[in-house]
Amino acid sequence: MSKSDRELGMGRSIPRRDFIHDTGLAALGLAVTPGLSAGYPPLPNPAGYPPVRTGLRGSHPGSYEVAHALRDGAHFSETRSLDEVYDLIVVGAGISGLAAAHYFRQRFGKDARILILENHDDFGGHAKRNEFHQGGPTRLSLGGTHNLEYWQFSDTVWALMRELGIDVKRMRRHMQFDYGYNAPNGPAIWFDEETYGEDRLVTNYTLESWKPGMSLACIDQFPISAPAREQLKHLFAMRTNVLDGKTDEEARALLAGMPYPQFLRRYGGLGEEAIQIFQTCQHGLWGVELRALSAAEALFDSGLPGLNLIGKTDEIEGRGYPAAMFPDGNASVARLLLQRLIPKVAPGTDARNIALARFDYAQLDQPSSPVRVRLESTVVNVVNAGEGVEVTYVKNNEPVRVRARQCVMACYHCILPYLCPDLPQEQKEAQHFQVKIPLLLTNVLLRSSQAMDKLGINRISCPGRMHRSLFMFKGINTGGYEQRMEDKGPVPLVFWGSLSPPADVYPLKEQLRASRRRMLGLQFSDYEREVRSVLDGLLGPAGFDTKNDILAITVNRWPHGYAYEYMDLWDKDYPPGQAPHEIASRPHGKIVFANADAGASAYTHVAIDEAYRAVMQL
């Protein structure tokens, strides 16, 4: 039976933070057992150091309202003109915007005056750092962008990594973390009472990266009907090739044209109850519902079950993702870039100590520095004017105008038609095409890993819950930071997922918009109740106490998450140069376009490549 808010500890240790910013780490510190933080440096003040803010982060309250008002028809007149003129203005302080500033200096000299405008209260964009001190030692976690997928790097990206001193091979050597797949504790599936009628934890088991030889008997523990269990077992046991007699082209067309759930129904013999278990398994990864994926995308790009139905049993391998990762994800890349642009933010910092470097945010926007980063500044208008550009942004509710010789738009593409009204209609339509994929990344700092160790779990799949996957985040010993897998102290548990749109919404982009509305409509207390309920049901039997064992909760909402990538079931093939992302990023006078959206691919290396391309177009 579900517990009351009071029983779950709502409002006891962590005050409501549904409003602009955290009300203060000091308040949160009240939750820490007296003496637990003794012997550690004093907590950083969240007023001057955004990475320690908890509550609603990612697209935090205060970051998007101006942009949404613009979308809804607001006009920002009565603009005050600032007496500032730059060589370059960059819109967006994500990795693409920071890289653009870096390449501009490389090309035009270190004296170039650059202003980077960013609507959030922190730089890095999706590359967001979550830093915790509750409970004693510094604990870092992912607030957004996780991995360096180095096997896809271009020469340009490799060169930047070298300049920043990032050695991915070394990082790999110092990584024990593997999303819980090779951890001492194994993966597990947790069925919750609200969805399945009872709480049931099935340990040492995963369906999503199932491989031959894995026991099918575990499926008998699933709290679903006997026929649904038999269907699942049959699916995994089958050895057949339903593509027999088809040419390669016919096979490809069939798999790319068929929704994956239909493939499971038709060839795998699954009914709706069995399919439900997979329904949200790509939340966080592709960030979409199962029904949005083709069979080809599910089988070949996601490792989902079914290769044994097309005669490829031998090719099924275990999971494991060989990416390189900093302990705050690619926030370390953003920080290294920023430190190169404004050395005074963290003198003496390099890739070997970046993870623990304390940045001085007071240095971000100093008139004496050639590069300035202005946070909490939402750009609302960018136009070519005379020999340069005029950029209007809103800060503290006041619209102000600045001028520059050139401008790189490194923000989301879907907002560009509102920011740049003079763009050709064809280009605006191409920019509207980019509907980003919403993602949710909630960090819960647990007092210790004791309950999870007791249950022998490290990564948990929750087919019935808001966050589909949970993983313990430790075992990344790089950038001067260390929390080994064996560490039993405070540990971030990452809740990772997306929010399902209503089942009757069909077109993919409408699904994404509905998911975004849902995400923004929920309050911090909704997310908090969810994680407390899950932890109570999952870890409660192992002695976890939601009233005392949760030290902090940070909900990173990304309503505009991954860049949209073309998908089998929803997009056609375009002739070279005519794809929406190519039209969207055509230069317009002194204005050029970067961001991962410009590459239609949701990766850090793409954000960097697009920054380079944009600066070379200036």
Ligand X SMILES: Cc1cc2nc3c(=O)[nH]c(=O)nc-3n(C[C@H](O)[C@H](O)[C@H](O)COP(=O)(O)OP(=O)(O)OC[C@H]3O[C@@H](n4cnc5c(N)ncnc54)[C@H](O)[C@@H]3O)c2cc1C
Nearer to ligand X among residue 246 and residue 432 (C-beta): 432
Nearer to ligand X among residue 125 and residue 303 (C-beta): 125
Nearer to ligand X among residue 145 and residue 449 (C-beta): 145
Kindly identify the residues of this chain, within the stretch 323-352, that bind ligand X according to CB under 6 A. 330
Q: How many CA atoms lie within 13 A of 156 on its CB side?
A: 17
Output the CA torsion sign for 67, 70, 72, 75: positive
Output the CA torsion sign for 482, 486, 491, 497: positive
E-strand ranges in 310-395 read: 371-374, 378-385, 388-395
Kindly identify the residues of this chain, within the stretch 482-541, that bind ligand X according to CB under 6 A. none
Quote the CA–CA distance of 363 and 346 in Å, as a whole number. 9
Quote the CA–CA distance of 176 and 35 in Å, as a whole number. 30
Kindly identify the residues of this chain, within the stretch 455-484, that bind ligand X according to CB under 6 A. none
Give the shortest CB-59-to-ligand X separation in angstroms: 8
User: CB–CB of 132/490 below 8 Å?
Assistant: yes
Instruction: Out of 433, 544, 603, 612, name the contact with ligand X by CB under 6 A.
Output: 603
Quote the CA–CA distance of 307 and 313 in Å, as a whole number. 6
| Per rule CB under 6 A, count of chain residues that contact ligand X | 39
Which residue, among 227, 225, 226, 262, has the nearest Cα to 242 in the 3D structure?
262
Q: How far apart are the first and last CA of the chain?
A: 62
Nearer to ligand X among residue 312 and residue 513 (C-beta): 513
Quote the CA–CA distance of 354 and 335 in Å, as a whole number. 7
List beta partners, residue 562: 437
Nearer to ligand X among residue 43 and residue 98 (C-beta): 98
DSSP-derived secondary structure letter, 184: S
Nearer to ligand X among residue 98 and residue 508 (C-beta): 98
Q: Does 596 bind ligand X (CB under 6 A)?
A: yes
Instruction: Out of 28, 52, 127, 494, name the contact with ligand X by CB under 6 A.
Output: 127
Instruction: Out of 57, 126, 447, 468, name the contact with ligand X by CB under 6 A.
Output: 126
- Determine the interface stretch with ligand X among 141-149, 204-212, 482-490, 527-535 (rule: CB under 6 A): 141-149
Nearer to ligand X among residue 205 and residue 286 (C-beta): 286
The torsion angles phi and psi of 383, rounded to 5 degrees, stand at: -135, 150
Separation in Å, CA 547 to CA 11, 199, 420, 447, 454: 9, 20, 50, 11, 19
- The 350-389 contact track toward ligand X, x by CB under 6 A, reads ----------------------------xx----------
Give the shortest CB-239-to-ligand X separation in angstroms: 35
Nearer to ligand X among residue 97 and residue 417 (C-beta): 97
Q: Does 410 bind ligand X (CB under 6 A)?
A: yes
Nearer to ligand X among residue 124 and residue 537 (C-beta): 124
Q: Does 595 bind ligand X (CB under 6 A)?
A: yes
Give the shortest CB-150-to-ligand X separation in angstroms: 10
Instruction: Out of 460, 561, 613, 614, name the contact with ligand X by CB under 6 A.
Output: 561
E-strand ranges in 109-263 read: 114-117, 129-132, 139-142, 186-191, 200-203
Nearer to ligand X among residue 63 and residue 511 (C-beta): 63
Q: Tokens 């004791």 appear where?
A: 450
Quote the CA–CA distance of 497 and 468 in Å, as a whole number. 5
Give the shortest CB-495-to-ligand X separation in angstroms: 12
Instruction: Out of 263, 412, 524, 527, name the contact with ligand X by CB under 6 A.
Output: 412
Which residue, among 127, 88, 91, has the nearest Cα to 104 in the 3D structure?
88
Give the shortest CB-598-to-ligand X separation in angstroms: 8
List beta partners, residue 399: 394
What does the binding site for ligand X look like in residue numbers (CB under 6 A)?
A: 67, 91-97, 117-120, 125-127, 144-147, 149, 330, 378-379, 410-412, 415, 419, 439, 441, 558, 561-562, 595-596, 602-604, 607
